[in-house]
Structure 1
Amino acid sequence: MIRNIVFDMGNVLIDYQPMEYTRRFFPDPSEAAQVCTELFGGPEWPLLDQGTIEPQAALRQICERLPDSLRARTEELFCHWFDQLTIIPETNALGKQMKENGYRLYILSNAASSFYQYCSCIPIFPLLDGCIVSADEKLVKPDPAIFQLLCERYHLIPEECFFIDDRLENIEAASNLGMAVHQYQMDADALQNALCKAGVSLK
């Protein structure tokens, strides 16, 4: 029986679109492409999620690869990209509904320490029974250890968990541990059908 619903964050609860954020600071397409590649696509971004690099050190390394004329706006983007986040209403609504029906809610996310500057914008955040952020733990999905940590910390049984993520490798890792899973691809109806098939009450 499913008792726990575990959400990824980016592209599940919030819409994560790096190029859109970048374009608001860099209207010129070539500048936007360059900055987005170096910032969101650079080697520092996953290290921030891993919690193995300090934000200021990451920013310094990113800016060193960019022309001087782009560095001030890159710093502004680095510090404020999350101010432009938008929520995904359908998944947050399902989360609220499941909480009302007695299910426990969790977030398991690959995210940097900046998570705590924007987590309050997630509608279901105040309803959570627990939250694991990769940067805090120095572990990232799809490492099985981060899923095991979630279960150990909150005394969860994998077979009683339904895990929702947009990335296949994370879904596979959770499934291998015994969790029911669904790869979310911006289709709320498909998610709702998967939850119902797993026996989750949505009435």
Structure 2
Amino acid sequence: MIKNIVFDLGNVLVDFDPARFVMEKTEDPQQQILLMSEIFGSVDWLRFDKGLMNRAELLVSVNSRLPEELHAVAEDLLATWYNGLNSIPQMAELPQRLKEKGLSLYILSNAPKDYYLYEDKVPSHNAFDGIFISADWKLSKPEHEIFRTFYSHFRLNPAECYFIDDSAANILAAEETGMYGFHFKRNFSILEKELARLGLL
């Protein structure tokens, strides 16, 4: 019996679109490619998400690989990227609807500590019973350990949890640790039908 719904953040509850963030800072295609590659497409970004690097350290590392004329742009981008996050309209009401059905709600996301600067952008964020951010634990999906630590921290039975994530690898890892879920690809109507089939909506 499902008692808990576990949500990812990026491209599930909020629209995480780094290319758009970059395009808002520069119209030059070559600069856009560099910024995407050296910030959001870098190992450093994964370290940032995992809490192994703070924003200042990330900027130093990124700027060591970027031409000097992009240093200020990179600094601005890292200071403001989360302002470009918007709730995904069809998902905005879902947490509250599930809450009203008596389900407990959790967030399990790969996200840097910047999360606490933008948490008010998360739809119905006050309805969640628990927030589990990768940077706080120095773990990241799809590592099995992050799922096991999540269950342990909130004293959850994975068999009673249902996970909604946009990454197939994360869904597979969740299944391998006992939690089933749904691979979300902006296919809201299919998700809604599946939740209804399970008696959750």
Aligned to 1:160: 160
Query: Deviation of residue 57 (structure 1)?
Result: 1.2
Alpha-carbon distance in structure 2 between the residues aligned to 1:195 and 1:159: 16
Alpha-carbon distance in structure 2 between the residues aligned to 1:39 and 1:27: 17
Letter in 2 for 1:18: P
- Structure 2: state its 5+ residue gaps: none
- 1:81-100 aligned within 5 A: 81-100=81-100
Alpha-carbon distance in structure 1 between the residues aligned to 2:137 and 2:128: 18
Alpha-carbon distance in structure 1 between the residues aligned to 2:173 and 2:167: 10
SS at 1:163 equivalent: strand
Q: Percent identity between the aligned chains?
A: 38
Alpha-carbon distance in structure 1 between the residues aligned to 2:122 and 2:54: 25
Letter in 2 for 1:17: D
- Structure 1: state its 5+ residue gaps: none
Alpha-carbon distance in structure 2 between the residues aligned to 1:24 and 1:9: 22
Letter in 1 for 2:188: A
Letter in 2 for 1:103: L
Q: Is the 8 A contact 2:161 2:179 kept in 1?
A: yes
Query: Deviation of residue 197 (structure 1)?
Result: 2.5
Alpha-carbon distance in structure 2 between the residues aligned to 1:197 and 1:180: 14
Alpha-carbon distance in structure 1 between the residues aligned to 2:5 and 2:65: 41
Aligned to 2:54: 54
Letter in 2 for 1:171: I
Q: Is the 8 A contact 1:18 1:40 kept in 2?
A: yes
SS at 1:77 equivalent: helix
Letter in 1 for 2:54: E
Alpha-carbon distance in structure 1 between the residues aligned to 2:30 and 2:139: 34
Alpha-carbon distance in structure 2 between the residues aligned to 1:155 and 1:162: 15
SS at 1:147 equivalent: helix
Deviations 1:25-69 (A, max 9, x none): 011111111111111011210001111112211111101111111
- 1:122-133 aligned within 5 A: 122-133=122-133
Aligned to 2:66: 66
Alpha-carbon distance in structure 2 between the residues aligned to 1:103 and 1:152: 19
TM-score w.r.t. the length of structure 2 is 0.97
SS at 1:25 equivalent: coil
- 1:1-203 aligned within 5 A: 1-200=1-200, 202=201
Deviations 1:117-154 (A, max 9, x none): 10111122111100110000011011111111121111
Letter in 2 for 1:146: I
Alpha-carbon distance in structure 1 between the residues aligned to 2:197 and 2:143: 27
Q: Is the 8 A contact 2:55 2:78 kept in 1?
A: no
SS at 1:123 equivalent: coil
Query: Deviation of residue 177 (structure 1)?
Result: 2.0
Query: Deviation of residue 184 (structure 1)?
Result: 0.2
Letter in 1 for 2:113: S
Letter in 2 for 1:38: E
Letter in 2 for 1:187: N
**RMSD between aligned alpha carbons?**
1.0
